[in-house]
Amino acid sequence: MTCNVMAGEPIITHAVRMDAMGLSAGTIEYRCTGPAGGPVLVFVHGFLVDGTVWADVPDRLGELGFRCYVPTWPMGSHTLALNPGADGTPAGVAEMVLEFVAHLGVPSVTLVGNDSGGAVCQLALGSDPARIGTLVLTNCDAFEVFPPFPFDIVIRLVRRPRLARAVLAPLAWRTMRDSPVAFGWLAKRRLPGDLTAAWVRPYLSDAAIRADVAGFAAGIRRRTLLDNLPALTAYQRPVLICWGADDRFFRPTLARRLSATFPDVKLVEVAQARTFLALDQPGRLATEIAAFLAEAARPAEGVTPAGQRSGG
């Protein structure tokens, strides 16, 4: 897939070649863009969507020299169910993210999270921050907002696979997918019908995937991210919080609270964007990430790349 880095309209491609990585919990499919050897980014999408929620942001960054991995995590829109007995809770998915990163064989990566994927990134920090060199959070769960109303009601209902089937079945119709209790208010623009249909197809058609949906939902608790806060305050590396300012669920006040927890943070609020920031403002998001990583890669004033003070 190619794109114009300066363009604002997202390019969304479904027919892309997917690679696969075997993890302890199951097989994770992913696509990769950008040159081998470039700084590595790993993207973490949210619940009941897949990697296409990032639109062409990874491709824009790939054209700028970054190596971007865009997995489909087992949060409902995946097509390969987890192994029996695997931990598919948010904490379990955080361990999968860390295992995926370890298999890449690089010293550290930039994690990029959105929606409940941002919560997963926070939990990864709480488990093992060593391989997370930098962190980018777009509109996502934080503190007691896990998840926001009215999605907390949906989460409670889908914790049982049989009930999940009945609750999720109406998403087969586009009018329901476009509603405020589904995807309708998560982006400024009306999302393409084929995009949202692809998101819901796995869990509407496969009982094993619905079981994974129930497992993820069962692990969502209001205290989870609050209990994880010490990991955020202890994380000393650079953090970018890039937030769609028009979000009706994850409001800018949440972004400001979140930014206050990190020692080294940059907060950017983006107009004309909601939860799915990458779909609303792909060019702006790619630009902000690239600039942030360029700044993070510069040695501190008076410090050489080897970490030694320069001068006599």
The reported pLDDT for the residue numbered 9 is 55
Query: Which residues, given as ranges, of the chain have pLDDT below 70?
Result: 1-16, 300-312
Can you list the pairs that 283-288 forms with residues at least 24 positions away whose Cβ atoms lie under 8 Å? 283/5, 283/6, 283/7, 283/8, 283/60, 284/8, 285/57, 285/138, 285/242, 286/5, 286/57, 286/60, 286/61, 286/64, 288/240, 288/242
48 phi, psi to nearest 5 deg: 65, 20
The reported pLDDT for the residue numbered 6 is 34
Query: How far is it, in rounded angstroms, from Cα 200 to Cα 204?
Result: 6
The reported pLDDT for the residue numbered 1 is 33
The reported pLDDT for the residue numbered 16 is 67
Query: How far is it, in rounded angstroms, from Cα 127 to Cα 62?
Result: 28
Let me know the angle formed at the C-alpha of 212 by 197 and 57, rounded to the nearest 5 degrees: 50
Closest CA to 276 of 114, 72, 50, 107: 114
Amino acid at 265: V
Amino acid at 194: D
Query: How far is it, in rounded angstroms, from Cα 223 to Cα 221?
Result: 5
Closest CA to 91 of 67, 58, 116, 109: 116
Q: What SS3 state is found at 146?
A: coil
